[in-house]
Structure 1
Amino acid sequence: MTLTLDGAERRLSREAARTLRDELAEALTRRREFLYTAGEHREDGSYVVERRGADSAGHSKVFERFTALERLYSRLPREFTAEDVGRSGLTGGRRHILVRHLAEHPAFDCELVSRQPLTARKRGA
């Protein structure tokens, strides 16, 4: 098999190609666990936010793509609560899970500033 990347060609054996495929699939469909939440990039491109250790769908929110979560974050005010997140259509405990996930995930530059009500603040905004 020949692999071309940035104009450079590399020849791979079948075994090396299989290994590369498996490693890429794992990188694209990985799960990251944080203190209270977890995020999973699925094979179909969707991104799931869930309460860490939860075993029911009631404790998760599926986004079509990770970029959908990024868009939601960009529309939130500098300081936001679960109620603000709920304006996007999320209900119940999912709103709180999402606030915590945004504060825990390194892609989002924010931190929790209050537990009651659960409030996060964007840094540098």
Structure 2
Amino acid sequence: MFDSFGALRALFESLPAEFGAEPVGNEGITDSRRHLIVRHLAEHPAFDCGLVSEQPLRAEKAGD
């Protein structure tokens, strides 16, 4: 899905302070993959963000 970890980092940096699947989809990622990316970003220790809502799925960057 991504050519490198840097590409995923760039996606993360381009997202607003609070985001769900829709802005991820605006970057060309489709279907259920959008939700997987939101959850992955929220759970991966390299990304400073966390889930703030399950329904709808939303994450928030820390410190923003």
Please report how far the alpha carbon of residue 117 of structure 1 lies from its aligned counterpart in structure 2 after TM superposition. Answer: 1.0
Unaligned runs of 5+ in 1: 1-61
Aligned to 1:78: 17
For 2:56 and 2:30, the matched residues in 1 are separated by 16
What is the aligned length? Answer: 64
For 1:63 and 1:108, the matched residues in 2 are separated by 16
Unaligned runs of 5+ in 2: none
Higher helix share: 2
Relative contact order: is structure 1 or structure 2 higher (C-alpha 8 Å, sep ≥ 6)? 2
- Alignment RMSD (CA, Å): 0.6
Secondary structure (helix, strand or coil) at the match of 1:112 reads strand
In terms of Rg, which structure is larger?
A: 1
Query: Moved runs in structure 1, 4+ residues, more than 3 A?
Result: none
Give the fraction of aligned pairs with identical amino acids, expressed as a percent: 61
Higher strand share: 1
The match for 1:107 among 39, 46, 52 is 46
